[in-house]
Amino acid sequence: MKIALDPYMFRSTQLLELPGVVADLGFEHIELSPREDFMPFFLMPRCDDATVKAFKKALDGAGVSVAANLPLYRWSGPDEDERQAAVRYWKRAIQISTMLGCDVMNSEFNGRPEQASLSEGQFWRSMEELLPVFEAEGVHLRLEPHPDDFVEDGKVAVDMIRGINSPLVSFLYCAPHTFHMGGNMVEIMEYAGDLMTHLHLADSFDHTGSSGLRYITNPPGNTVRVHQHLDIGQGEVQWDSFFETLRKLGFGDRDETIMTSCVFAWEDRARESTLSMRQTIDRYVSAW
């Protein structure tokens, strides 16, 4: 198992300095999330091959590997022009991953919940085009359900991934999304079993608590999704149950598994938050 850092709170750090920052924070692996100067959200990557090679050299110099590359594209969006563009972006992102020596990519289904059936059709169309590319490059894909996506429920996501029917595609459990995935954390993790290969670690409050009045949004009944990516222990995810379930499933015994520290909430104390997360993760992993 690899323990990685999503360095999104450090995205203002110069690209070639980022590996050194990650190493200084106690991580040997990075989950590369979108950056405006490299692979931005929903747009074609902004880097040429020379930049990718320079970044790889900086990673090697710092003793840091890219455990996973996380792009976000509208490959399941209802707009067909956007979907076709997203497929082009994906192909370049896969190429960049292989140049970085990374054979794992993770992402979201990225459609619209109010157009779920149309979004699912677009997703399968994109998979028909992209799965052969993943297979040709030997790149694994881990998918997660996400709040405000056409797949939000954890067990539905597992079934969707089973439907892809490829050994290269597996399930990512994102702990801060627990209360949008159905709230049945242990049930979802056990349902996924060995199909669960990737974890995002951060805490969140249960927005369904207090009779749904934990958060009040106006106008009443709107479809906003509320969650956080907090330090472990700052929210309501049941971490003892989480790690005990991982132990029972033998998650840490499998070489292909990745556990990513994925806190976004504390840019004003990013270093302290990241160091605390690393210590907390190590403590739980050692105990299990």
pLDDT tens by residue, 120-175: 999 999 999 999 999 999 999 999 999 999 999 999 999 999 999 999 999 999 99
| Structure-block tokens of residue 148 | 């405000």
The predicted pLDDT at position 263 comes to: 98
Q: Which fold has domain 2-287?
A: TIM Barrel (3.20.20)
Amino acid letter for position 121: G
The predicted pLDDT at position 207 comes to: 87
The predicted pLDDT at position 169 comes to: 98
pLDDT, mean of residues 98-103: 98
The 8 Å CB, 24+ separation contacts for 13-21 are 15/51, 15/55, 15/58, 16/54, 16/55, 16/58, 17/58, 18/58, 19/55, 19/58, 19/59, 19/61, 19/62, 19/64, 20/58, 20/61, 20/62
Q: How far apart are CA 277 and CA 261, in angstroms?
A: 7
Q: How far apart are CA 269 and CA 275, in angstroms?
A: 10
Q: How far apart are CA 123 and CA 132, in angstroms?
A: 15
CB 29 within 8 A of CB 65: yes
Angle CA 169–238–263, to nearest 5: 65
The predicted pLDDT at position 64 comes to: 98
Q: Is 63 left (phi over 0), alpha (psi -120 to 50) or beta?
A: left
Report the chain's C-alpha Rg in angstroms: 18
| Structure-block tokens of residue 134 | 């993943």
CB 203 within 8 A of CB 228: yes
The predicted pLDDT at position 213 comes to: 83
Higher pLDDT, 151 or 214: 151
- Read off the pLDDT band of 74 (50, 70, 90): very high
- Read off the pLDDT band of 111 (50, 70, 90): very high
- Read off the pLDDT band of 217 (50, 70, 90): confident
**Omega of the bond leading into 78 within 30 degrees of 0 (cis):** no
CB 188 within 8 A of CB 154: yes
